[in-house]
Every structure is written in structure tokens, then in C-alpha cells.
Amino acid sequence: MKKTLFSAALLAGITFSSCSAKTTENTEATADNTEMQHNGMDMQQETMETEAMPTSVVVETPDYTAVAEPVKAQVAALLDAYLKLKDALVASDAAAAKTAANKVFSVAGAIPVASLQDEQKAFAEEKTAQIKESAEKIAAASDVDAQRASLEPLSEATFALTKAFDATGQKLYYQRCPMANNNEGGYWLSVNQEIRNPYFGEQMLKCGSTEEVLN
């Protein structure tokens, strides 16, 4: 029993260390061991990401793939604008994030929602409203932490629109950091499998996992 408890505790400690903040190198042996453990977990995480892709569905959406091309093209432009905003947050660049958020707001507003009918129109109106609200908050904030607080709803709505309207030919990775938003977790979209965390930037750049893949 003692051996089982010790193993469980050790595993929990190693798992937590994979999302711990990067510490400065210390000459003491304990710090060296910690750094080696971090490096080992980073390598393990990268291997897991390469070998196993999730098959679960995190964001459920209706199938509106038959929608007209002008709608798809504008949603694709929205995705591109979102990715620039996400990258700015990865770089902890508040000024670039503000500029990118204004672009997201304008592109979302240009989606020809009025051309849609019934359920499609209602769905697009709901998601574009969420996107514009989140983008507006990010654009109004000067502090990168405040900007990051609005990334979660923006990411979900952008992913939902892109997925429902089949608006991209790129493979998308819907990724999550469990420590974002006061440990409630937070999602983001990426066209790269490699984890680059927009919620903490360089502080915890590789903290996260891919939860859904859109081919």
C-alpha cells in the first residue's frame, strides 16, 4: 500500500511539473534536477503530441457545409485574423493583440449573415456576436493579462463558425491549457500541432494539450 501511494504521489508531481513556470538556472543540485525533470516532461509531451491525436469532439456544431462561398470566404478571413491575435498573445505583445483584435472585430462584422436563412442565420448571429464582444474587450485592454481573459469565448466561437461552415482547408488544432483562467482551463485554436500557449506565453509556453483536431 505504501508503495502504491508513493507511486501515485510521484506521478502527480511529475504531471504537475509539465505545466510549471520556467525557473532560472541554479547551481545547486536540486535546481539542476528540477530543470532536467522539466526538459524530460517537455520531450515526453512533444512525443505524445506526435504519436497520438485525439478523436474526441469538444465543440459540437451543426453541419452547414453547403453554405454559399462568400460566407465561407469571410469566415476563413476571420480565422486568419484570429490566428494573428492568438500569436500576439503567445508573444505577450499587448499592442499587437490590440491591433489584431480590431481586425477580428471588423472581419466578423463583414460576414454576410443576412444572406443566411433560419437556423444558419441564428447560429451565425450568435457566434459573430460572441466574437465581436470578445474582440472589443481585447482591443479595449492595454494589459496582456486582461486581453487573455477574453480569449476563451473568442476561440470557441471562431472554431464553431469555422467548423460548421467548413471554412478552411487547413488542419486545425483545438488546444487547452488546464491552468488558464484561474485553473478553470482555457482553449485556443492553432494551425500547428506544437503547443504554444497564448494564456501564459514564454512563462509556460508548452503547457497544454490538443483536445480536438479538425481535418
Write out the residue range of the structural domain in which residue 162 sits: 69-214
Residue pLDDT, tens place only, 163-178: 999 999 999 999 999 9
What's the grid cell of residue 53?
491525436
**How much is the pLDDT for 185?**
96
Report yes or no on 16 lying in a domain: no
Query: Would you say residue 45 lies in a domain?
Result: no
DSSP 55: -
Q: What is the pTM of this model?
A: 0.77
pLDDT in tens, 55-89: 688 899 999 999 999 999 999 999 999 999 999 99
Nearest to 90, CA basis, from 140, 26, 151, 42: 151
| 12 found inside a domain | no
The number of distinct structural domains making up the chain is: 1
